Amino acid sequence: MDHTFENVAIIGVGLLGGSLGLALKQRGLAARIYGVGRNENSLDTALNLGAIDEASLDIVAAVKDADLVVLCTPAAAVPGQMDTVREACRADAVVTDVASTKQCICEHASATWPTPRRFVGSHPMAGSEKFGPGHANAGLFDGAVTFVERGETVDLDAYETAIRLWESVGSTVVGIEPGQHDEMVARTSHVPHIVASAIAQLVGEGKESGHFIGNGFRDATRIAEGRPELWRDICLTNPTAIEAALADLIERLESVRQGVAEENGGQLESFFAEGVRARRELLDS
């Protein structure tokens, strides 16, 4: 069988890394997949699921023969891992990642990788509040949008390979500049998670609140169960865009607070009507 990739190294075999391994294996896209992690239990789970063919605690050993390396770890860990991989992998290997922030990672790549560089930033919008290889799913990327870094310093062949990777596991690929990516996902992903956590904490302060919880609370706070260290890293690697989005949100909340305090029915109705319009327009686009 001809495979798209002969040797793939997946660094981090949690939900995204495990799901990518399963998707590649089930579609016959990779001859052999090496999984790298710090936790032997997670690696054993990934092996037992068939997401990887071989497990290792050593990044250098796992990437030396790989034609594709995918970094599937929290954003703050990616730059350091990129440095290790750059020195250890083949010169023709394509290296990408799945982190939810892109500018700091891609700027680091531009500063440290040979030009045209074969590191290409990626971000599949396919996460979940669940984590770990036990929740891995070969269909996780089906129908998901995956952003792939577009830039002058990126090697065209590596860029096309990254696109082929994500399309082959079911994604719709959108090429984008890292700064634009971070500005957009701050509002569509990062701030919503912050808000979900804040709502959960607000309600959790009431000892008897559990009796009053309905579907609205469940829908609005589901994502608050994501891994704290992952979301810590997202905030630390996209601070400018997140701070700007939070400032805009606080301004809107302050307007609502004022409308409630003044019992201004017209202002409040306009606020909710604008929310209906904006949501429908966004989801119908």
pLDDT digits (tens, 9 = 90+) for 99-130: 999 999 999 999 999 999 999 999 999 866 66
Q: Show me where the domains of the chain are located.
A: 5-176, 181-284
Coil, helix or strand at residue 270? helix
C-beta separation of 97 from 72 below 8 A: yes
| Length of the chain, in residues | 285
Q: What is the DSSP string of 3-59?
A: -SEEEEEEE--SHHHHHHHHHHHHTT-EEEEEEE-S-HHHHHHHHHHTS-SEEES-H
Domain 181-284 = CATH 1.10.3660.10: yes
User: Tens digit of pLDDT for each residue in 43-75?
Assistant: 888 888 889 999 999 999 999 999 999 999 989
Give residue for tokens 């995204």: 16
The number of helices, as runs of H, and strands, as runs of E, in the chain is 12, 9
Query: Comparing 5-176 with 181-284, is the CATH topology the same?
Result: no
Give the pLDDT of residue 204. 87
Confidence bin at 276 (pLDDT 50/70/90): very high
Query: Is residue 133's pLDDT more than 80?
Result: no
Fold for domain 5-176? Rossmann fold (3.40.50)
Give the pLDDT of residue 1. 43
